[in-house]
Amino acid sequence: MSLQLGETAPDFTLDSTEGTIRLHDYIGDQWLVFFSHPKDFTPVCTTELGAFARRKAEFDKRSTKLLGLSVDSVSDHNAWIKDVEDVGGTAVNYPIVADPNLEVAKLYGMFHPKADPKVTVRSVFIIDPQKKVRLTLTYPPSAGRNVDEIVRVLDSLQLTDGRKLTTPVDWRPGDDVIIAPSVSDADAQKLFPEGWRTLKPYLRLLRYSATQH
């Protein structure tokens, strides 16, 4: 069964390309993007690992760590990394954990035996500093992930976290955000004295950045 939003991400300890990792210790007080791969030496995953590595500075800027997972061994991961670096044009600068017994794959719902009885699906989890699952995505074997979308949702989560805000369709940083419907106009006036645009009684748009408050 897959994890649901708001659940505590199950802790685990596994070997990785950067030594033994205990998940909750690895997250610390930061955010985490945790993503699984069906198998080492697969073409789509090779492109994905390189893309995350090239963009690691963007995640660092957002106080977010990266962690990959595949069912093969650490020695296989280390051999595969050479291909990833050759294709991606940069060093793999985050750990990849080994899950040969599918222990974590099953714990996190990354294993879908009806899709493939031997390997994991491509899953993505965004986990916050309180170790809560804030996003889950599952991709089919044929479609590579979109790193831009993962960064976009991470920005949305971090901007709205603990605030009475949500973000609309196709939102990007700098765009208007939505005041949550649970907030009355009277309370919104206290929270957002700069005002807002009302499109519908339940749809109030606001220009907002995290540096404002």
Three-state SS for 48? Answer: helix
The number of CA neighbours under 13 Å toward the Cβ of 88 is: 24
Comparing C-alpha atoms, which of 42, 36, 49 is closest to residue 91? 49
Three-state SS for 127? Answer: strand
Dihedrals φ, ψ of 115, to 5°? Answer: -85, -45
| Cβ 110 vs Cβ 10: under 8 Å | no
Q: Among all residues, which ones are annotated catalytic?
A: 45
DSSP 211: G
Distance between the two ends of the chain, CA-based, in angstroms?
39
